[in-house]
A and B are shown apart, each in its own frame.
Chain A
Amino acid sequence: MQRIGVFVCHCGSNIAATVDVKRVALAMLSENGVVFADDYQYMCSESGQLKIAQAVKEHNLTGLVICSCSPRMHEATFRKAAEKAGINPYMVEIANIREQCSWIHKDIEQATQKAIILARAAVAKVNLNSPLIAGKSPVKKRALVIGGGIAGIQTALDIADAGFEVDIVEKTPSIGGKMSQLDKTFPTLDCSACILTPKMVDCAAHEKITIFTYSEVENVSGFVGNFTVDIKKKARYVDSAKCTGCGLCQEKCPSKKALSEFNCGLSNRSAIYTPFAQAVPNVPVIDPLQCIKLKTGKCGLCEKVCAANAIDYTQKDEIITREYGAIVVATGFDVINLDNYDEYAYSQSKDVITSLELERIMNAAGPTKGHLERMSDGKAPKNIVFVQCVGSRCADNKGKSYCSKICCMYTAKHAMLIRDKYPDVNVSVFYIDVRTPGKNFDEFYRRAVEEYGVNYIKGQVGKVTPEPDGSLTVHGVDLIDGRQVKISADMVVLAAAIEPNASVRQLATQLTASIDTNNFLTEAHPKLRPVESPTAGVFLSGVCQGPKDIPETVSQAGAAAAKVIGLLAKNELTTNPCTAHSDELLCNGCSACANVCPYGAISYQDKEVNDHGIRETRRIAMVNTALCQGCGACTVTCPSGAMDLNGFSNKQIIAEVDAICR
């Protein structure tokens, strides 16, 4: 039998104006187990908490019911107060009589009655509460960063600088990500490579950072503080330890027909390649689909020319298992597939390109060595049309509903750079809105319009038609004039929407992190916990969480790092004690619970039990409380009721139901 104290909070007038708090307290005195009930102005205040402590002492309380605001607001406060007063924190229940009562009801009688019932249900529950002790689990002091773009690099550097080990897993042969493909960055127009490369080098050189390029996460198990991750290192066919990065193999490689991923397929690369000159690590990989030796067994030229003997055609994919305390997802983005936008003739004309392709064309290390050329005939374009919002801000299902956020600014940048370098080129931009909320952004855009004479047309492009003469006709609407516009262009640049990297779906499943309908990873709280995923120990960095530009990415990367550092700095974590547990005398060992457990927390053991005098060995479910997150899926699947959930036990919920229906 519990000795319960009930405390009814006025919350100033927030509750007391609509709920007769004194009556609620009085009514609770006749409830089973209640030995003390009182009301107070602000229970969450220091004096309110002191009141609790006094009552616990005076009345020898074993359980508390606080009738106040939502438990989401102050449950933690009252649990701490209880603990201070010498009661187990899980002997506290909150009756939410503010958000779910006083704030939504006007009639005092009605609200008071409801408050009484809610309090009664909480009392009924506390009567069945039992003290729960949070477990402790050690923290593995190493972080994993998935994705080696600027987000991943920055997060890794920040964590490593704090003295913790960090591994970066990058799918491609080099870290650097999308930023390495960019030419210049807005709004300062500094060279992307110039600011990124030093960070890449820092990463490689940092003693706390291990980089796994050309690698993917294969499997994730465990929980916050104790993740175990299998990393698949794809066969590189080049021994990283021996390779000096001289580049001779790439020169000599006879297979040069592969499209360069780095240059967005606008140029070719050899079968053995490093994606770009500044790659980190500067160790090539052999593309097994292109390599003549691997395909036919003949050739082997690279092996012959390699002075360091680094070529190894026998290399196999390798699984490395590492343990981590925290995981940061920084998987970045891709440009959407433009199949749905064939009206822009992207597939029909080589001169319709995406903005990212333009970045490569403008880049000195790009397919045209930095000269602005048409990809079809190599001629210098005279009229360029930019089309904004291709696939972004779509009302229909064709594209994305969201704004890709970076296009307005990079288009202004492109227009400006072209007009600067090639003043005779006419540049028109079709836009819906120009969005420039950022430091020096609007100034930047205005420079494009005012200083560089870029022709901004508010309106949409309906169609781009390739003409027989190789030119392109852009059919659009000028919404300000309300007239049809037809522009003859020799290059059209599409500001294609960006979307989370395709790998994120599977990754989210592996991490049991949730994703939204657009495949962006969900934050634990959209405002207050923007860099944490709802899954403890998993953090978000960069565009995988939502569209952002470089400075935003870098600041979020730092924020995620700060969270990781905060976690890794702890030696151990307290685990949620509201976990499932199985009654071994009732368990059938049928595996139904394990089938629905999203965390793989349930395993089976053959165990000898003594069932009222009958001794036998039975297959029995065991819950790993460190893995269990307490969802309760198993409890309903279990037909015998062997599985129950601490803190939300069958009997507790039934007691609440009874109390409400009484």
Chain B
Amino acid sequence: MKKINLNKLKELFAYISEKSSLFLPIESANSINFGMYDEKAKVRLDVLKTSKSPKDLFFPQSETLYSCQSAKGKISIEPQALQNDEFVVFGMKNCDFAALEILDKVFLSEPVDTFYKARRDNATIVTLACARPSESCFCKAYGIDCAQGAGDVSAWIIGEYFYWCANTQKGVALLEKTAHLFEDADEADVESAKAQIRDIVAKMPLMSLDLKNWGKGKTAEKFDSPLWDELYKPCLACGTCTFVCPTCQCYDIKDYKAGEKVVRYRCWDSCMYSDFTMMAHGNNRTSQMQRFRQRFMHKLVYFPDNNDGVFSCTGCGRCVDKCPASLNIVKVIKAFDKEA
């Protein structure tokens, strides 16, 4: 366990960013999101949740797959280069890290998504324990401990100090590189801080959310419930929940005609959008109710079906905070609980 005074963090950031790109929560235009560090950046480690999840560091909202030229029936294809440089993600929360592990199950399963994998391989992730969880958090419901560290390096902010310790080889490397900035720290400080956090967590209203009615093999039980017909009604069919969600990973593949060439890119898509399943061969989810159901069934039933009971939700609570219609997964879970 090492520590550094908070006022020396800037030095640390400067040092890391000299060697590799550094991504951390940055405030810009009244909004806090993960962004690339530079001297002018307004770093906001104090903020619990970034507006968007850090998933776009690994699965960007939009990325080029290849560009293509075609003329007179001949085609040439220029694939997009993969991420080749190492980078550091600093201050990721545990729920978001857990979400990354969920994304891994999708993108790193065969056939591997090489674009995603290249970024994963090149990233060193420093997680930061949540000092002040919020009412919309429910990570505990998924067995995530926001006081405990995860990723390559675990970190805590306790009083005037920033503490960290390495969990993986990559983490060790990062700590070694920056060792000259740090001093040794007492493990006990961290333990008491963890206990404090866990106390707060116990008081948070949604942390005790019960998921016993969900998971593997619940398709038949949940799918035809009349509750869906009620629940979806306020849904605006926007994609806010899916875009702020750290685990949503649906995407679309599109062409952009850029003069002589065609750029093929993939971009986030949302199962909430009316045209998500609209394909040349037809559309199998024509109503918003079906699309709404799909999102929650996928997170709470289908995904666990295929992944040993792991839910595709980590309780980060962004959808609770951000849904324009104040709808969210918690309301869905609770509505079914009430019914049961």
- A interface residue numbers (CB < 8 A to B): 30, 32, 612-614, 658, 661-662
**What 1/0 flags go to B254-297 for Cβ under 8 Å of A?**
00010110000000000000000010000100110000000000
With a cutoff of 8 Å between Cβ atoms, the chain B residues found around residue A658 in the complex are 257, 259
Query: Interface of chain A, helix or strand or loop or mixed?
Result: loop
Q: Provided the pairs A612-B286, A613-B283, A614-B286 are in contact, do residues A662 and B259 lie with their beta carbons within 8 angstroms? A: yes
Q: Quick check: A32 and B71 within 8 Å, CB to CB? A: yes
B72 at interface, CB cutoff 8 A? yes
Q: Provided the pairs A658-B257, A662-B260 are in contact, do residues A613 and B72 lie with their beta carbons within 8 angstroms? A: no
With a cutoff of 8 Å between Cβ atoms, the chain B residues found around residue A662 in the complex are 259-260
With a cutoff of 8 Å between Cβ atoms, the chain A residues found around residue B283 in the complex are 612-613
Contact of B278 among A30, A32, A612 (CB under 8 A): A612
Q: Quick check: B71 and A30 within 8 Å, CB to CB? A: yes
Q: Quick check: A30 and B72 within 8 Å, CB to CB? A: yes
Q: Which residue of B lies closest to A658 (CB)?
A: B257
A-B contact pairs, 13 of them (CB 8 A): A30-B71, A32-B71, A612-B278, A612-B283, A612-B286, A613-B283, A613-B286, A614-B286, A614-B287, A658-B257, A661-B259, A662-B259, A662-B260
4 tightest Cβ-Cβ pairs between the two chains A and B: A662-B259, A613-B286, A612-B283, A30-B71
With a cutoff of 8 Å between Cβ atoms, the chain A residues found around residue B257 in the complex are 658
CB distance from A585 to the nearest CB of B (A): 12
With a cutoff of 8 Å between Cβ atoms, the chain B residues found around residue A612 in the complex are 278, 283, 286
Q: Which residue of A lies closest to B259 (CB)?
A: A662
A153 vs B141: C-alpha distance in the bound complex, in angstroms?
Answer: 94
**What 1/0 flags go to B118-141 for Cβ under 8 Å of A?**
000000000000000000000000
With a cutoff of 8 Å between Cβ atoms, the chain B residues found around residue A613 in the complex are 283, 286
A32 vs B71: C-alpha distance in the bound complex, in angstroms?
Answer: 7
Chain B: interface residue total (CB-CB under 8 A):
9
A257 vs B287: C-alpha distance in the bound complex, in angstroms?
Answer: 79
A580 vs B57: C-alpha distance in the bound complex, in angstroms?
Answer: 46
Q: Which residue of A lies closest to B278 (CB)?
A: A612
Q: Quick one: which of B69-87 are within 8 Å of A by CB? A: 71-72
A612 vs B257: C-alpha distance in the bound complex, in angstroms?
Answer: 28
With a cutoff of 8 Å between Cβ atoms, the chain A residues found around residue B260 in the complex are 662
A268 vs B257: C-alpha distance in the bound complex, in angstroms?
Answer: 80
A94 vs B329: C-alpha distance in the bound complex, in angstroms?
Answer: 58
Q: Which residue of A lies closest to B286 (CB)?
A: A613
CB distance from B211 to the nearest CB of A (A): 34
With a cutoff of 8 Å between Cβ atoms, the chain A residues found around residue B286 in the complex are 612-614
Q: Which residue of B lies closest to A30 (CB)?
A: B71
With a cutoff of 8 Å between Cβ atoms, the chain B residues found around residue A614 in the complex are 286-287
A614 vs B287: C-alpha distance in the bound complex, in angstroms?
Answer: 8
With a cutoff of 8 Å between Cβ atoms, the chain A residues found around residue B287 in the complex are 614
CB distance from A36 to the nearest CB of B (A): 13
> What 12 additional pairs, Cβ within 8 angstroms, besides A612-B286, A658-B257, A662-B260?
A30-B71, A30-B72, A32-B71, A612-B278, A612-B283, A613-B283, A613-B286, A614-B286, A614-B287, A658-B259, A661-B259, A662-B259
Q: Which residue of A lies closest to B284 (CB)?
A: A613
A32 vs B259: C-alpha distance in the bound complex, in angstroms?
Answer: 12
Q: Which residue of B lies closest to A611 (CB)?
A: B286
CB distance from A508 to the nearest CB of B (A): 45
With a cutoff of 8 Å between Cβ atoms, the chain A residues found around residue B72 in the complex are 30
CB distance from A31 to the nearest CB of B (A): 9
Q: Which residue of A lies closest to B257 (CB)?
A: A658
CB distance from A42 to the nearest CB of B (A): 30
A614 vs B286: C-alpha distance in the bound complex, in angstroms?
Answer: 8
A614 vs B71: C-alpha distance in the bound complex, in angstroms?
Answer: 40
CB distance from B42 to the nearest CB of A (A): 38
CB distance from A613 to the nearest CB of B (A): 5
CB distance from A336 to the nearest CB of B (A): 60
Q: Which residue of B lies closest to A662 (CB)?
A: B259
CB distance from B261 to the nearest CB of A (A): 10
Q: Which residue of B lies closest to A29 (CB)?
A: B72
Q: Which residue of A lies closest to B72 (CB)?
A: A30
With a cutoff of 8 Å between Cβ atoms, the chain B residues found around residue A30 in the complex are 71-72
Chain B CB within 10 Å, residue with most, of A613, A614, A661? A613
With a cutoff of 8 Å between Cβ atoms, the chain B residues found around residue A32 in the complex are 71
Chain A CB within 10 Å, residue with most, of B72, B278, B283, B287? B72
A30 vs B259: C-alpha distance in the bound complex, in angstroms?
Answer: 14
Q: Quick one: which of B300-317 are within 8 Å of A by CB? A: none
Chain B CB within 10 Å, residue with most, of A612, A614, A661? A612
A658 vs B261: C-alpha distance in the bound complex, in angstroms?
Answer: 12
A614 vs B260: C-alpha distance in the bound complex, in angstroms?
Answer: 39
A30 vs B286: C-alpha distance in the bound complex, in angstroms?
Answer: 42
With a cutoff of 8 Å between Cβ atoms, the chain A residues found around residue B259 in the complex are 658, 661-662
A614 vs B285: C-alpha distance in the bound complex, in angstroms?
Answer: 11
With a cutoff of 8 Å between Cβ atoms, the chain B residues found around residue A661 in the complex are 259
CB distance from B282 to the nearest CB of A (A): 8
A134 vs B259: C-alpha distance in the bound complex, in angstroms?
Answer: 34
Q: Which residue of B lies closest to A32 (CB)?
A: B71
Q: Quick one: which of B203-244 are within 8 Å of A by CB? A: none
With a cutoff of 8 Å between Cβ atoms, the chain A residues found around residue B278 in the complex are 612
A613 vs B282: C-alpha distance in the bound complex, in angstroms?
Answer: 9
A661 vs B287: C-alpha distance in the bound complex, in angstroms?
Answer: 40
A32 vs B70: C-alpha distance in the bound complex, in angstroms?
Answer: 9
A661 vs B257: C-alpha distance in the bound complex, in angstroms?
Answer: 12
A159 vs B71: C-alpha distance in the bound complex, in angstroms?
Answer: 60
CB distance from A35 to the nearest CB of B (A): 10
CB distance from B279 to the nearest CB of A (A): 11
Q: Which residue of B lies closest to A661 (CB)?
A: B259
CB distance from B169 to the nearest CB of A (A): 50
Q: Which residue of B lies closest to A659 (CB)?
A: B259
A662 vs B278: C-alpha distance in the bound complex, in angstroms?
Answer: 31
A32 vs B283: C-alpha distance in the bound complex, in angstroms?
Answer: 32
With a cutoff of 8 Å between Cβ atoms, the chain A residues found around residue B71 in the complex are 30, 32
CB distance from A120 to the nearest CB of B (A): 11
A519 vs B287: C-alpha distance in the bound complex, in angstroms?
Answer: 57
Q: Which residue of A lies closest to B71 (CB)?
A: A30
**What 1/0 flags go to B95-129 for Cβ under 8 Å of A?**
00000000000000000000000000000000000
Q: Which residue of B lies closest to A655 (CB)?
A: B257
CB distance from A566 to the nearest CB of B (A): 48
A378 vs B303: C-alpha distance in the bound complex, in angstroms?
Answer: 111
A612 vs B278: C-alpha distance in the bound complex, in angstroms?
Answer: 9
CB distance from A569 to the nearest CB of B (A): 51
Q: Which residue of B lies closest to A35 (CB)?
A: B72
A661 vs B71: C-alpha distance in the bound complex, in angstroms?
Answer: 18
CB distance from A586 to the nearest CB of B (A): 13
A201 vs B299: C-alpha distance in the bound complex, in angstroms?
Answer: 92
A612 vs B290: C-alpha distance in the bound complex, in angstroms?
Answer: 14
CB distance from B187 to the nearest CB of A (A): 61
CB distance from B68 to the nearest CB of A (A): 14
A613 vs B285: C-alpha distance in the bound complex, in angstroms?
Answer: 10
A32 vs B287: C-alpha distance in the bound complex, in angstroms?
Answer: 39
A612 vs B287: C-alpha distance in the bound complex, in angstroms?
Answer: 10
CB distance from A113 to the nearest CB of B (A): 16
A128 vs B33: C-alpha distance in the bound complex, in angstroms?
Answer: 43
A32 vs B69: C-alpha distance in the bound complex, in angstroms?
Answer: 12
A658 vs B71: C-alpha distance in the bound complex, in angstroms?
Answer: 16
Q: Which residue of B lies closest to A614 (CB)?
A: B286
CB distance from B274 to the nearest CB of A (A): 9
CB distance from A386 to the nearest CB of B (A): 72
A612 vs B71: C-alpha distance in the bound complex, in angstroms?
Answer: 35
A352 vs B283: C-alpha distance in the bound complex, in angstroms?
Answer: 85
Q: Which residue of B lies closest to A612 (CB)?
A: B283
CB distance from A329 to the nearest CB of B (A): 50
A662 vs B283: C-alpha distance in the bound complex, in angstroms?
Answer: 35
**What 1/0 flags go to B121-165 for Cβ under 8 Å of A?**
000000000000000000000000000000000000000000000
A30 vs B69: C-alpha distance in the bound complex, in angstroms?
Answer: 13
A614 vs B288: C-alpha distance in the bound complex, in angstroms?
Answer: 12
A612 vs B72: C-alpha distance in the bound complex, in angstroms?
Answer: 36
A30 vs B71: C-alpha distance in the bound complex, in angstroms?
Answer: 7
A377 vs B71: C-alpha distance in the bound complex, in angstroms?
Answer: 94
A661 vs B27: C-alpha distance in the bound complex, in angstroms?
Answer: 37
Q: Which residue of A lies closest to B287 (CB)?
A: A614
